[in-house]
Chains A and B, each alone.
Chain A
Amino acid sequence: MAIRVQATAFDPGAEVNAMHAANVGVGAVVSFVGYVRDFNDGRDVAGMFLEHYPGMTEKALGKIAVEAEQRWPLLKLEVLHRVGALEPGEPIVFVGVASAHRQAAFEACDFVMDYLKTRAPFWKKETTSEGPRWVEGRTSDQHAAGRWAKG
């Protein structure tokens, strides 16, 4: 399991390739890449700043990763999140999951993103055509995360 929170850019393709490097037991890799869009909630977006809670951020992501590893038989899990200034088109987040078979990798990747969206201390501030604004949380994200509750 690897958790990285960084201000520098990354190459999603290189991250995907690294997911199965040196492990021929890996039969499936599922990855998610989130990008900065140039339009959101009716306004043009020229850029974004990602604030976080240093210390808690790494712990929260680590906790989500551990939970995913407890629920599914995973061979490798990587979570990478940008902080600081970003431009439209840049990758913000990468989640890579490797397993022997595809179902565990698909489900774990979905789970990690849902929990990251609702439990990891990141906040987006957009630079829009009408000035800066904080992005509001979405209830659809809360509902998505609720799907994984054990019942």
Chain B
Amino acid sequence: MNIQVLYFARYREVLGLDGERVDGEFSTIDDLRAHLARRGDVWQVLTEQNLMCALNEELCSVNKPLQDGEEVAFFPTVTGG
């Protein structure tokens, strides 16, 4: 499967990347997150406990199942308002 992954705010800066397409087999967003975190070094930021994520532009839990072609975003706690 192929997933569009986006990074925002502090994560975007730490990773030096605002997005990428990732190939692999992931049953949930958490699988994808673990796969990315295994790249080591700065990618450890994705193991932060208060990480938030969205699937196809909707806030969700990391336990959400993933399907081919979907868009996942990872970001730190939101701070608008």
Taking Cβ atoms with an 8 Å cutoff, the residues of A that contact B are 34, 50-53, 55-56, 59-60, 81, 92-93, 113, 116-125, 134-137
Contact = CB atoms under 8 A, between A and B. Distances in A.
Nearest to B13: A134
| Number of chain B interface residues as a range | 10 to 19
B8 A51 contact: yes
21 contacts: A50-B80, A53-B54, A53-B57, A55-B57, A81-B81, A93-B81, A117-B78, A118-B78, A120-B78, A120-B80, A120-B81, A121-B78, A121-B80, A123-B8, A123-B75, A124-B79, A134-B9, A136-B77, A137-B76, A137-B77, A137-B78
Contacts of A121: 8, 54, 59, 73, 75, 78, 80
Nearest to B59: A119
Closest 10 CB pairs of A and B: A122-B80, A137-B77, A123-B9, A56-B57, A117-B81, A135-B79, A134-B10, A124-B79, A120-B80, A116-B81
A92 B73 CA distance: 24
Nearest to A134: B10
B50 interface: yes
B47 to A, nearest CB: 17
